[in-house]
Amino acid sequence: MCDELFYEQINANSCFDKNATLVIKQEAIVHNVKCIKEATGAKIIAVVKENGYGLGVANLYNIIKDQDIFMYAVTSPCEAIALRQEGCKADILLLTPITDFSELLLMVTHDVVIAFGNKKQIHELLYINELTGKRPRVHVQIDSGLGRYGFNVDDIPNLKLYEDYISIEGCFSHLAGSINNYKKSVEKQVRVFKMAIDKIKEFDVDPGICHIANSKAAISFGALGFDAVRVGSAILGKVSVKNDLEEAVWLESKVFSVYNRQEGEHIGYRGEAELKRDSSLAVVRVGTDCGIGMTQRGTTDFTFSNFIKNLFRRISSVPVLNVWINGKKSPVIGRVGVSHMTIDVTENMVKEGDIVKVQVNPLLVHPYVKRLVI
């Protein structure tokens, strides 16, 4: 009987027990939006892609909807529809230059502004105009150096030919950034973007609202002389440059157990961590399953400075990750596991059940982790 009850209550194909909560501080998000607006003096295009950067698109939208957001930006049609279903009446920009006719028609039907950066879209957009009598709304997308989407400057079609059928309301590009000289890289891409805008004007077409600055650029350089900034991670207070933003999202769990180990013992997978002293350790039942210790590496950084930095960490045992318990920073020791990690709490009076606060990229947090807006 007990087995039958257990079987009926548990879905064996979605059995997740996440001992964590993703905490979302709405006051911090509101503060960050105001801070960005004051610092840039530009219109705010709030990027809510990837389910609101992992917060939940409804959660993020409802926190910022009264903050004079000029436009929302998404990367997929379903995200745009989710915003409309949540009651969003503001303009929504689809950043991906989709070419599928049914998706384009769906976006036009829901009054979504489409990224226009592919000549394959022209026929479909003209046919939608003929079919519905509506002029599809677009922002012309320029490739200024990212090499992913958008028209190259030399390949921009004569937009004057399509003005009666397509409503051209803006022009944008996406910054690629740089590992080394970020400012120089941004300046180069801005020059390319300005060349594209000038070419559009040569067609006797108004480029409309122009925007290129993402979160990092907006905090570093403002709107770069354009009308709006597109910000997502900055709204959450997660930008890798000096700023006055507040941390708006973090992961919380609890200390599961506390125990002692002696100097010289090895801790964790592969025994990578060797204790340099008698230590008090705490186990927390979260790990890579909740996005902890996961970083998007992409191409390996082979710079000499990065090599020295990693070598120093290995020699000195500098922790790669820290957490906060009782308001005090404590280092993670050893390799983070899928569902557990070990914390050195020798310098911190910790007991079972104490709250552990961890900085994470919310995009990497498992969707089964509870989201809590405070």
Residue 315: band (very low, low, confident or very high) from pLDDT cuts 50, 70, 90 = very low
Question: Nearest Cα to 231, choosing from 215, 208, 246?
Answer: 215
Q: Is 125 helix (H, G, I), strand (E, B) or coil?
A: helix
**Regarding predicted confidence, which is higher, 178 or 44?**
44
When mean pLDDT is compared over 13-22, 231-240, 267-276, the highest value belongs to: 231-240
Contact 270, 335 (CB under 8 A): yes
Half-sphere exposure of 130 (CA within 13 A, CB side): 7
Please say if the pLDDT value at position 174 is more than 50. yes
DSSP3 helix / strand / coil % (the chain, rounded to 5): 35, 25, 45
Q: How far apart are CA 56 and CA 47, in angstroms?
A: 12
Closest CA to 185 of 220, 235, 150: 220
Inter-residue contact 101 to 127 (CB < 8 Å): yes
268 to 163, 273, 342, 350: CA distances (angstroms): 63, 7, 8, 20
Q: How much is the pLDDT for 296?
A: 40
Note the pLDDT tens digit of each residue in 18-70. 889 999 999 999 999 999 999 999 999 999 999 999 999 999 999 999 999 99
* Position 273 confidence tier, pLDDT thresholds 50, 70, 90: confident
Residue-averaged pLDDT of the chain: 89
Q: Looking at residue 270, what is its pLDDT?
A: 80
Beta strand ranges found along 143-248 (DSSP E): 167-173, 209-211, 228-231
Helices assigned H by DSSP within the chain: 2-9, 26-40, 49-53, 57-64, 77-85, 101-109, 120-132, 182-202, 215-221, 304-316
Q: Single out the residue of 334, 255, 257, 258 nearest to residue 293, CA to CA.
A: 334
With tokens 């677009």, the residue in question is: 138
Ranking 162-171, 221-230, 287-296 by mean pLDDT, the lowest is 287-296
The angle at the Cα of 15, spanning 14 to 20, to the nearest 5 degrees, equals: 110
Mean pLDDT (whole number) for 159-184: 92
DSSP 3-state of 358: strand
> How far is residue 127's CA from residue 2's CA, in Å, rounded to a whole number?
61
| pLDDT 10s digits, 328-369 | 999 999 889 888 999 999 999 999 999 999 999 999 999 889
Q: Look at residue 99 and tell me whether its pLDDT is greater than 70.
A: yes
- Closest to 339 in 3D by CA, of 270, 306, 291, 307: 291
Please check the confidence at residue 167 and state whether its pLDDT lies above 50.
yes
Task: Output 10 or 2, whichever has higher pLDDT.
Answer: 10
pLDDT for the residue 297: 41
- Phi-psi region for residue 120, left (φ > 0), alpha (ψ -120 to 50) or beta? alpha
Distance from C-alpha of 102 to C-alpha of 134, rounded to nearest angstrom: 15
* Helix (H) and strand (E) counts in the chain: 10, 18
pLDDT over threshold 90, residue 267: no
* pLDDT of 170 over the 60 cut: yes
Which of the pair, 274 or 124, is modelled with greater confidence? 124
Cα–Cα distance measured from residue 285 to residue 339, given in angstroms and rounded to the nearest whole number: 6
Tell which wins on pLDDT, 258 or 304: 258
Q: List domains and CATH numbers for the chain.
A: 24-236 (3.20.20.10), 249-373 (2.40.37.10)
